[in-house]
Amino acid sequence: MYTERAGICWREAMRSELDAVLRDVRIDRRRFLAAAGVFGATALLGSCRAGQSRQGAASPPASRPPVEEEPGELRIIEWAGYDVKPLYRAYLRRFPDDEPRFTYITNTESVIGKVRAGFRADLVHPETSYARDFVALGTMQPFDTDLLPHLGDLNPDLVSVGVLDGQQYHIPTDWGFSTVLYNADHVDADEQTYALLFDERYPGKITWFDTPWVLIMAGLVLGVEDIYDMTDDELDEVKRFCIDRKHLVRNLWTNPTDLDQDFAQGNVWIAYAWNASYLAALNNGVNAVYCTRPKEGVITWTEGFMLFADTENYYHAHAYVDAWARPETAYWLIENYGYGHTNTSIDLSRLSPEVVEAFRLDDPEAFKPPAHIDRWIPRRTAYNAAWDEVKAA
């Protein structure tokens, strides 16, 4: 799952849309203690907030039953760990008898496949960089921004990325890093680098996440010019490089809990990981290093909500998303999972200084180049096919 922010406004740093990786297995993000979410309160985000205006028009009025006639019991395609009540407490205060139902997923590509095949819900929580792919399926509708009173508290540059065809299709809420985690007691690293994921000195002690984003990390190591839009030749080179180094990999993880256990037990020393696994490693007594400053530039991601076109819970869905946008949710997410939140009203002084430092939450340079904000991948089908070849090799 990843997004970069800069001392300059996000949109300037970003160049385009953001993307990340939605998972379909029960992925526990609970240990990701206070990290990226608070970034919304840093001076960086604050600097982008001046002159904020709502991005994207409200969806056109339609004839809908009033909220009291909606069936309730929202159906949400969500990450496991994001199904806990503190993240939508305000929604439950308004609808105490309407507990949502959650479907858990392993990666965003699988979600897109299921939706294409006919699976439906009320809301889905993908990375921003996949928003265009979901809209292209014809199964999403824009939000009515007038029904989201806390939208104005969210980072306006991130909110603007969710505007497609002049409509607000995606509401960004959370963010994090996708980078390298390693055990400093066993790994000799003179510098932080994605090359550790392909280091021939550590056969059997490396683990990759099961995602085409491994190709993107390999592209950084090989010096590809645009990791999000590789040519056929570049993609072939990256694919062959991953196949050549695959023998070093102990396994491909799909559940962070499994990764955390392997890392704590010493089964692996180097991992593709998110912020939560770094905190888990520290809690397990591992002398861990999380590469938030790799020489190639760190990869970041942003996630948020999208609304299904055929939902029967239009007003319930908006209330749920607005609950996620509230400061109380942002603080809980940061303090308990460590993921960042896009709410710009957060006060960093309320958070652990160690967490703020570990995840560069007060660093105005953290998301400037050479950092890599994830964005839409126009040749996603080719990336997916290349990754399938790597796994099959």
Across the range 73-79, mean pLDDT stands at: 95
DSSP class of 71: -
CATH of 10-175+300-348, one of 3.90.1170.50, 3.50.30.60, 3.90.1640.30, 3.40.190.10: 3.40.190.10
- Is the pLDDT assigned to residue 26 strictly greater than 70? no
Q: How confident is the model at residue 38 (pLDDT cuts 50, 70, 90)?
A: very low
Of 45-49, 215-219, 372-376, highest mean pLDDT: 215-219
What is the mean predicted confidence (pLDDT) over 90-94?
98
**Residue 193 scores a pLDDT above 90:** yes
For the entire predicted model, the pTM comes to: 0.79
Quote the pLDDT of residue 62.
62
More confident residue, 244 or 175: 244
Task: Of 341, 393, 380, 333, give the one whose Cα is nearest residue 111.
Answer: 380
Q: Does the structure show a pLDDT above 70 at 309?
A: yes
What percent of the chain lies above the pLDDT cut of 90?
67
pLDDT, the chain, mean: 85
Domain boundaries, the chain: 10-175+300-348, 177-299+379-392
Query: Tokens 């982008």 correspond to what residue?
Result: 48
Residues 59-76 have a mean pLDDT of: 85
Task: For residues 32-47, give the mean pLDDT.
Answer: 35
Instruction: Give the residue from 313, 282, 279, 359 showing the smallest Cα distance to 76.
Output: 313
User: Is there a common fold for 10-175+300-348 and 177-299+379-392?
Assistant: yes
Contact 180, 272 (CB under 8 A): yes
Lowest mean pLDDT among 95-99, 180-184, 246-250, 339-343: 339-343
Query: What is the tens place of the pLDDT at every residue in 340-371?
Result: 899 989 898 998 888 888 888 777 777 778 99
Under DSSP, the state recorded for 153 is: G
For residue 326, pLDDT over 90 is answered with: yes
Nearest to 3 by CA among 155, 176, 132: 176
Query: Rounded to whole angstroms, how far apart are CA atoms 214 and 211?
Result: 6
* Alpha helices (H) in the chain, listed in sequence order: 10-14, 43-49, 89-94, 108-116, 131-136, 156-161, 213-222, 232-245, 256-265, 275-283, 314-325, 327-337, 353-358, 380-392
Superfamily (CATH) of domain 177-299+379-392 = Periplasmic binding protein-like II (3.40.190.10)
Mean pLDDT on 18-25? 34
Name the percent of the chain lying above pLDDT 70.
84
Give residue 382's Cα distance to chain centre: 21
Question: Higher-confidence residue: 267 or 369?
Answer: 267
pLDDT at residue 336, rounded to an integer:
80
Measured CA to CA, the distance from residue 227 to residue 211 in angstroms comes to: 15
Taking 80 as the threshold, does the pLDDT of residue 129 lie above it? yes
Residue 206: the pLDDT is: 99
In angstroms, the CA 90 to CA 112 distance is 29
Per-residue model confidence (pLDDT) at position 57: 56
